[in-house]
């Protein structure tokens, strides 16, 4: 269906997920041509779950030795230019759409995934879509956005199936897929940064701990710090619509849904989440 707002792209159902033609072609290209390297790090997310934040954190973790923390090192957030290896790649593509040579071979590459309470994802997406909407397109109501999201009709949706794919992979191959939540990173940023570093095989040394490098990284990647830098330049340039860096920074909070969703909406969304994630050993609370 062709719909409105950020949902205005023409979405197609491809291998169980709603996607626009660009990532569908992208996933076909990955399937046919992409040669993963064992050192590749893939930051994977569903849109609006903290992509920008996680990219900045992982980039800082792996490049910290080359950083002068006083010199705004994230201004150079272009992994290919700064350091060719390890490659840091970022995608919204669902886990099941990657070729087996990437997912079944434990030494092929690693994934760091972040997800977020779908109620906050919906609110974030709704604001984002209306911000990016061309003038001639009427705003998308929250009710319409809610309905589409619950039906799974949103970029890379159904949201819950996206989460499930990465969750299952993280349980089956914990050395290959690290599963994080936005809520955990907000609550325990230092612990999460240490966890990511360990997962990537670059744990913080005692000397770095003494120098408070973990704290420096968290500060460098904070909402305030990132929103003042042009870290999403490449995304903005690629887009056909006018996207600015500031569009990726709205509130950066957990639980903003209380200010937007009706009790009925909350109940419905929680019900879908319970149903979809039943018995897997993970939920958003
Ligand atoms: P809100 O719209 O709820 O504020 P993505 O990068 O995947 O597009 O996700 C965007 C969401 O992440 C936005 O959520 C944005 O404010 C939030 N965000 C971006 N950088 C952040 C940071 N450093 N810390 C916390 N939240 C951040």
Q: Is this complex's ipTM strictly greater than 0.90?
A: yes
For residue 234, what pLDDT band results from cuts at 50, 70 and 90?
A: low
As separate numbers, helices (DSSP H) first and strands (DSSP E) second, the chain gives 14, 6
Q: What is the tens place of the pLDDT at every residue in 210-225?
A: 999 999 999 999 999 9
pLDDT of residue 241: 63
Q: How confident is the model over 238-244, as a mean pLDDT?
A: 65
Pocket of ligand 1 (CB under 6 A): 45, 47-53, 120, 124, 127, 221-223, 226, 248-252, 256
Secondary structure class of 18 (helix, strand, coil): strand
Which pLDDT belongs to residue 171? Answer: 97
Which of 27-31, 63-67, 176-180, 201-205 shows the lowest mean pLDDT across its residues?
Answer: 63-67
Residue nearest to atom 9 of ligand 1 (CA): 48
Could you tell me the pLDDT band of residue 235, with boundaries at 50, 70 and 90?
low
- Give domain limits for the chain: 9-277
Residue 55's closest CA among 94, 87, 32, 9?
87
Q: Is 92 a catalytic residue?
A: yes
CATH topology of domain 9-277: Rossmann fold (3.40.50)
How sure is the predictor about 244, in pLDDT bands with cuts at 50, 70 and 90? confident
Question: How many angstroms is it from 35 CA to the middle of ligand 1?
Answer: 30
pLDDT band at 81 (very low <50, low <70, confident <90, very high): very low
What are the Cα distances from residue 258, in Å, to 21, 73, 159, 162? 34, 36, 20, 24
Cα 202 to Cα 186: distance, rounded to the nearest angstrom: 22
Annotated catalytic residue within 33, 72, 92, 162: 92
């Amino acid at each position: 269906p062709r719909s409105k707002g950020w949902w205005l792209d023409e979405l197609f159902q491809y291998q169980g997920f709603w996607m626009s033609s660009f990532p569908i072609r992208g996933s076909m290209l990955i399937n046919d041509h992409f040669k993963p390297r064992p050192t590749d790090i893939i930051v994977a997310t569903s849109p609006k779950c903290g992509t920008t934040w996680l990219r900045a954190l992982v980039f800082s973790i792996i490049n910290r030795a080359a950083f002068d923390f006083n010199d705004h090192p994230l201004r150079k957030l272009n992994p290919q230019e700064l350091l060719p290896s390890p490659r840091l790649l970022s995608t919204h593509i669902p886990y099941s759409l990657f070729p087996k040579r990437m997912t079944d071979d434990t030494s092929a590459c690693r994934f760091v995934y972040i997800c977020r309470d779908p109620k906050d994802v919906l609110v974030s997406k709704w604001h984002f879509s209306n911000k990016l909407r061309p003038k001639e397109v009427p705003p998308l109501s929250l009710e319409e956005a809610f309905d589409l999201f619950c039906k799974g009709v949103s970029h890379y949706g159904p949201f819950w199936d996206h989460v499930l794919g990465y969750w299952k992979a993280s349980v089956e191959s914990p050395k290959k897929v690290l599963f994080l939540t936005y809520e955990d990173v907000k609550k325990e940023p230092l612990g999460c940064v240490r966890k990511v570093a360990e997962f990537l095989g670059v744990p913080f040394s005692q000397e770095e701990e003494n120098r408070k490098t973990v704290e420096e990284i968290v500060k460098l990647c904070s909402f305030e710090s990132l929103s003042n830098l042009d870290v999403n330049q490449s995304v903005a340039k690629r887009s056909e619509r006018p996207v600015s860096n500031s569009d990726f920074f709205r509130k950066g909070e957990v639980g903003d849904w209380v200010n937007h969703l009706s009790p009925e909406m909350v109940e419905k969304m929680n019900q879908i989440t319970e149903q979809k994630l039943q018995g897997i050993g993970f939920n958003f609370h």
